[in-house]
Homo-oligomer: A and B are copies of this chain.
Amino acid sequence: MKAAVLQDVGEVHVADVPDPVIIEPTDALVRITLAAVCGSDLWPYRGHEKFSPGDRLGHEWLGVVQNVGREVTGIKSGNLVLAPFAFSDGTCGHCRDGMQTSCVRGGFWGGANQGGQAEAVRVPFADATLVPVRVDAGDDGLLRRLLPLADVMATGHHACVLAGVGPGRSVAVIGDGAVGLCAVLAARRAGAERIIAVGRHPDRLRLARTFGATDTLDADDPATVAELIDGTKGGVGSVAECVGTQSALDLALALTRPGGTIGSVGVPNGVHTVDLYRFFRSNIALRAGVAPVRRYLDPLVTDVLSGALDPSPVFTTEVPLGDVATAYQRMDRREVIKALVRT
* Residues of A participating in the B interface, judged by any CB pair closer than 8 Å: 93-94, 97-99, 101-102, 162, 233-234, 249, 257-259, 264, 267-268, 271-274, 276-277, 279-290, 292
Contacts and interface: CB of A to CB of B under 8 A. Distances in A.
A94 B258 contact: yes
A93 B274 contact: no
A328 to B, nearest CB: 24
A284 B286 CA distance: 9
A170 to B, nearest CB: 13
A177 to B, nearest CB: 17
Contacts of A289: 259, 279-280, 282-285
A280 B259 contact: no
Given A99-B258, A282-B289, 19 more contacts: A94-B259, A97-B257, A97-B258, A98-B259, A99-B259, A101-B283, A102-B281, A259-B289, A259-B292, A267-B280, A272-B273, A273-B274, A274-B276, A276-B288, A280-B290, A284-B288, A284-B289, A285-B286, A285-B287
Give how many copies assemble into the complex. Answer: 2
B285 A276 contact: no
A279 B283 contact: no
Contacts of A292: 259, 283
Given A93-B234, A233-B93, A285 B285 contact: yes
B290 A259 contact: no
Contacts of A162: 285
A182 to B, nearest CB: 18
A234 B288 contact: no
Contacts of A284: 288-289
B276 A271 contact: yes
A284 to B, nearest CB: 8
